[in-house]
Amino acid sequence: MSAFAYIGQAKTGQEFIDYVASYDFGSVPPSFVVIHNSANPDASWAPLNGDPAIKWDRNEAGLNSDAIEAKRKPQLDAIKNYYVGQGWTTGPHLFIDERFIWLFTPMYEVGTHAKSGNSYRDASGGLHYSIGVECVGWFGHNGWPESMQKLLQVAVQTLRDRLNNFDIVYTHAPTNRPDLHDHQVSFHNDYNKPECPGAVITPDYAIPILAKPYATVYAQYMVTSPCAVSMSRTPDGGLAGGPDNGQTWLDVGDIINIGDVTNGWLWCSPNEHDKPGIGFIPADYARPV
């Protein structure tokens, strides 16, 4: 049996942009996208049940971004090992959580993730295949957290701009008609799994989020009040008081990169010190430099 095609690396949004800019997709590049949810593992932001053992972000209190990445890497490896046990030689191409875009199967390979949505051949025998994107969590009740939305926007829009062969639109079609979803975004339940990518993640929910422009030019700010990076814009998120639930802590004088300013919140991107992890801080806790 062939070896499993696996990368197993975490990328920040900007790192993914840089990675795709020079990526060799080969002579037959992918031409559509399939969105999934992982379900197992689930996550605190999108739980399937109360079992802490399957939470992607379990046991991360007090860890910084580097430590969280190192802790999650063996979890990703375990998913790969599960697929190997199923006899697969490829899997989905990307796993996206609230911090990172994880490279899984190389994007020049036909993946295994959506049955007939993996690939199809046209009437002339030409190959068409999809990029499989796993959103970490079970989205039966919850939508994507804002930090995950940002990374999904980066991933899908970066691929769209680089490949120039699909749009971030959706066409309703009968099940198992990948040809009618080619050059677009589709969802696992368009092919074989009705419960994936989760009841909340409908085309009407997902397509406007995926198509929303994100900031690509990052301005430098200096932290003026100690704070923790929050994974969502919440009244108590990102405020002074110490790291909480694995949030990255910022001190006065830290220089951070800001990708967006929205409703009194700053969207943070990692800088050369790998600090902070992607998330939000209140706008009055930092100033431009």
Each residue of 52-107: pLDDT tens digit?
888 999 998 888 888 899 999 999 999 999 999 999 999 999 999 998 999 999 99
Domain boundaries, the chain: 9-211, 219-288
Q: Which residues contact 15 (CB under 8 A, 6 or more apart)?
A: 101
The CATH code for residues 9-211 is 3.40.80.10
- Lowest average pLDDT, out of 28-32, 119-123, 234-238, goes to 234-238
Q: Which residues contact 111 (CB under 8 A, 6 or more apart)?
A: 90, 91, 92, 93, 105, 118, 129, 130, 131, 132
Q: Which residues contact 129 (CB under 8 A, 6 or more apart)?
A: 28, 30, 31, 110, 111, 118, 119, 120
Query: Could you read off the pLDDT of 103-151 as tens digits, one per residue?
Result: 999 999 999 999 999 999 999 999 999 999 999 999 999 999 988 998 9
Query: Could you read off the pLDDT of 171-198 as tens digits, one per residue?
Result: 999 999 999 999 999 999 999 999 999 9
Assign domain 219-288 to its CATH architecture.
Roll (2.30)
- What is the pLDDT, as a whole number, of residue 266? 83
The number of residues in the chain equals 289
* Entry pTM: 0.81
Q: Which residues of 83-105 are buried (b: 16+ CB within 10 A; e: fewer)?
A: beeeebbbbbbbbbbbbbbbbbb
Among 188, 201, 187, 92, CA closest to 139: 201
Query: Using CA atoms, how far apart are residues 29 and 225, in angstroms rounded to an integer?
Result: 47
